[in-house]
Amino acid sequence: MPVRVAVVGSTASGKSAVAMAAARRLGDVDVVSVDSMQVYRGMDIGTAKPTRAERAEVRHHLLDLVEPTDEFAVADFRDAYAAALDQIARTRRRALLVGGTGLYHRVVIDDFDLPGQWPAIRSGLEADENTAGLFDRLQQLDPVATTKIEPGNRRRIVRALEVSLGSGRPFSSFGPGVDDYPASAVAQIGVRWPRDVITDRIAERVRRMVDDGLVAEVQALAEAGLSRTAAQALGYKEILAMLNGQMSEDEAIATIITRTRQFAVRQERWFRRDPRVRWIDVEHDAVAEATPAVIEALNA
C-alpha cells in the first residue's frame, strides 16, 4: 500500500495548493481528490477542480469519474478510491489525499463498513413528503441514529430508514461510526486560518468563480440535465435557482457566499473533532507554512 498522507481543512483554506506544492517538490507523489463533487465531469469551476495544467504536471485521481446526470454515492467513491490506491501502488508512487468532504474522507481512511442500497425502499420513502413523520419512524427503528441526524436533514433520514428497513438491522450498527477515531495508517495534516480570514477568502473565491464563467458552466450542465446529487452542489444549486428566475445574480452570489461560509464552519468542526489531525495554523501563506509538515509526513 502506498504511503498515505491527507491534507484536510475547510473550503478556501488552500489545502489543494499545499498538496500541489508537496507533490511538485517530491516528484513521486500522486494527488487523490476526496471531494464528492469533483467526481462529476464538467463541474469544474464551481468545485475548484485542478486545472488542466496542474493535472498535466501532477497526476490526480478520482476526478471526472461520472457524468453529472449520474447519481454517485459514498460506496461508489470507496470502490473508486481502492482502485486508485492499487494503481498508485503498481507505479511505486505515493498517495497524497486532499479534500473537504468529511464523510468520504472518514470512509476511506478508516475503511468503514458501508451498508448496501435498496432503491425500491428509497423510492417509497422519498415519495413521503412528511419529513417529521419519517424522522419519528426512524426514531422507532433506530433511536441511536436519530441522536446523530438533524430532524430536518431529509436526505440522511431517508438513507437511515432505507438501510434499517432494507438490511433488517439498525443503520447505526454499521461500522464504528464517525464519533470513533481508531488508529489510522493515514497521517492527517490540517490547514486552518482565523475565522475572519477564511470568511474573506471565501467571498473572494466565489466572486472569482463567477468571473471565470460559473454561470455559463451551470447553464450548460442544466441543459444536459443534473442528477439529484450533482444539483445540490454548493454554487450550482444557487445558480440554477437564478436561471429559473427565483433570484437575481447578485442574490445568487450573496447566497453562495453565505452558504459556503456556513459549510466551511461545519467542515472545520468535523475535522476538529478528529484528535488524529495535526493542525497548522496559518498566518500568512498556507503553502509556505503547511507544505513542510506534509512533506515531513510523506517522508516519515
- Give the 3-state secondary structure of 103-124: HHHHHHHCCCCCCCCCHHHHHH
Q: How many other CB atoms are there within 10 angstroms of residue 212's CB atom? A: 12
pLDDT mean over 52-67: 97
The pLDDT of residue 281 is above 80: yes
Ranges of each domain in the chain: 4-112+185-299, 119-173
Cβ contacts of 44 within 8 Å, gap of 6 or more: 217
pLDDT, averaged across the chain: 94
Grid cell for residue 76: 461508489
Confidence class for position 15, pLDDT limits 50, 70, 90: very high
DSSP three-state, residue 135: helix
Distance, CA of 96 to CA of 84 (rounded, Å): 12
Alpha-carbon dihedral 241, 65, 206, 243, rounded to 10 degrees: -20
Cβ contacts of 196 within 8 Å, gap of 6 or more: none
Grid cell for residue 233: 452542489
What's the pLDDT at 115?
Answer: 81
Percent of the chain exceeding pLDDT 70 equals 99
Distance, CA of 161 to CA of 262 (rounded, Å): 27
pLDDT tens digits for 256-276? 999 999 999 999 999 999 999
CATH class of 119-173: mainly alpha
Quote the pTM value: 0.85
Confidence class for position 2, pLDDT limits 50, 70, 90: confident
pLDDT mean over 86-101: 95
Distance, CA of 194 to CA of 289 (rounded, Å): 14
What's the pLDDT at 116?
Answer: 82
Distance, CA of 193 to CA of 181 (rounded, Å): 24
The pLDDT of residue 81 is above 70: yes
Q: Which of 147, 167, 272 is nearest to 156 (CA)?
A: 147
Under CATH, which number does the domain 4-112+185-299 receive?
A: 3.40.50.300
Check if the beta carbon of residue 13 is closer than 8 Å to that of residue 265. Answer: no
pLDDT tens digits for 199-225? 999 999 999 999 999 999 999 999 999
- Residue type at 211 in one-letter notation: D
